[in-house]
Structure 1
Amino acid sequence: MEIKDSAAEHPAVERRSLASTPIFELVEDRFELGGEELTRGYVKHFSAVAVLALNNNDEVLLIRQYRHPVGQQLWELPAGLLDLDAESMQDAAARELAEEADIFAAHWHTLVDLHITPGMSDESTRIYLAEGLTEVPEADRHAREAEEAGIVPAWVPLSEAVQLVLSGELRNNLAVTGLLALHTVRTGHHQLRPADAVFRNHPRGIQP
């Protein structure tokens, strides 16, 4: 048996919208599976991108941001939604890195792709590795608002960041995934994918 995620759609016989916001919609589907009719509710959500920025000192950029649903200040990777139709995934990642961290990157690779919470949402995210970093000029920097206005950046040695994950001090899912993925690449000599690698079976059909 090949160990590989694959498409296996079971089209909805009926779909009801239970609630809607500008970012997500709560829906309920009826569908057939194995001769049985099931009903499942889930969130249809904009997908996203995140950026693990690595400088020449082998330090990774983490940003602290307040997250109201968990009531915590979390250390995260710069990230954002794919909510602009004409924008590619890599362009969105570059925009988020500039807006949230005031940084440009010259070199990009795909680090890892993931479905965030596939039991309750169709949200999917690509995490990029960004290197060759330079600062956005002061005059061109984005005016951050709401939760983003309180962002605090920190450069952390990769080895230290990995230990913070393993000790339970860092819990944001994208930060945990990205840091452990980069550590695996470094220690196991695995090859990174190019920035424009295909995201197979993306729920919303989004590609780089």
Structure 2
Amino acid sequence: MPHTETDLHEELISSTRLFEGKVISLRRDEVKLPNGKTGTREVVEHPGAVAVVPLTTDGKVILVRQFRHPVQQVMLEVPAGKLDPGEKPEACALRELKEETGYVAGRIRKLTSMYTTPGFSNEIIHIFLAEGLIESDKDPDEDEFINSESYTLDQIAEMVATGEICDAKSLVALYLAGIQLHD
């Protein structure tokens, strides 16, 4: 017999803060499991983020290329960034688009929100489509070194197929923006 949502719920017993950082925090939770036993959960806390698919009037997508320290490689991704405290996702999407690409969007549309890794993190990414782009000046953060590049949909499909575009948020964002990644 399938479990109901109530049967699957874990009750928080206690929580201990292990680390407080600039981008993430880490806590250890003691929980009461559905069977009455106790368990431990380690949780990475993240303030949330946005990802933006910038679509030009000639049908190209602006992507950003940057070094990602945790995986020790240069990645090709959709523009994205962390929410500031109290910042609305739409405002963050517009800010990150300008900072990373130098474009201002005439209009943005939310495509979805998704949890990146709910097994150990509460990070949520809000995904937007940006259109009506107007070129402006880039305004990257002081510690960001980013190249912005434009690609056709066919080029993007090829880069997905070869693994050049391989991060989850970019794959989901490009898919949701209606880009046909496979023949």
Q: Secondary structure at the residue paired with 1:183?
A: coil
Structure 1 counterpart of 2:49: 48
Question: 1:170–1:186: structure 2 CA closer, same or farther, 3 Å change rule?
Answer: closer
Question: 1:175–1:186: structure 2 CA closer, same or farther, 3 Å change rule?
Answer: closer
Asked if structure 2 preserves the Cα contact closer than 8 Å seen for 1:93 and 1:128, the reply is: yes
TM-fit CA distance, 1:160:
2.1
**Does the alignment pair 1:75 with 2:76?**
yes
Structure 2 counterpart of 1:115: 115
TM-fit CA distance, 1:45:
1.1
> What is the CA–CA distance in structure 2 between the aligned matches of 1:186 and 1:76, rounded to whole Å?
15
Asked if structure 2 preserves the Cα contact closer than 8 Å seen for 1:15 and 1:27, the reply is: yes
Q: Percent identity?
A: 33
Task: Give the gaps of 5 or more residues in structure 1.
Answer: 1-7, 188-208
TM-fit CA distance, 1:55:
0.6
> What is the CA–CA distance in structure 1 between the aligned matches of 2:117 and 2:42, rounded to whole Å?
13
> What is the CA–CA distance in structure 2 between the aligned matches of 1:143 and 1:75, rounded to whole Å?
16
TM-fit CA distance, 1:116:
0.8
Instruction: Return the TM-score normalized by structure 1.
Output: 0.77
- Which structure 2 residues correspond to residues 108-147 of structure 1 after superposition, within 5 A? 108-136=108-136, 138=137, 141-142=138-139, 144-146=141-143
Question: 1:42–1:157: structure 2 CA closer, same or farther, 3 Å change rule?
Answer: same
Question: 1:107–1:116: structure 2 CA closer, same or farther, 3 Å change rule?
Answer: same
Aligned residues: 175
Instruction: Return the TM-score normalized by structure 2.
Output: 0.87
Question: 1:76–1:186: structure 2 CA closer, same or farther, 3 Å change rule?
Answer: closer
- Which structure 2 residues correspond to residues 16-31 of structure 1 after superposition, within 5 A? 16-31=16-31
> What is the CA–CA distance in structure 2 between the aligned matches of 1:19 and 1:186, rounded to whole Å?
39
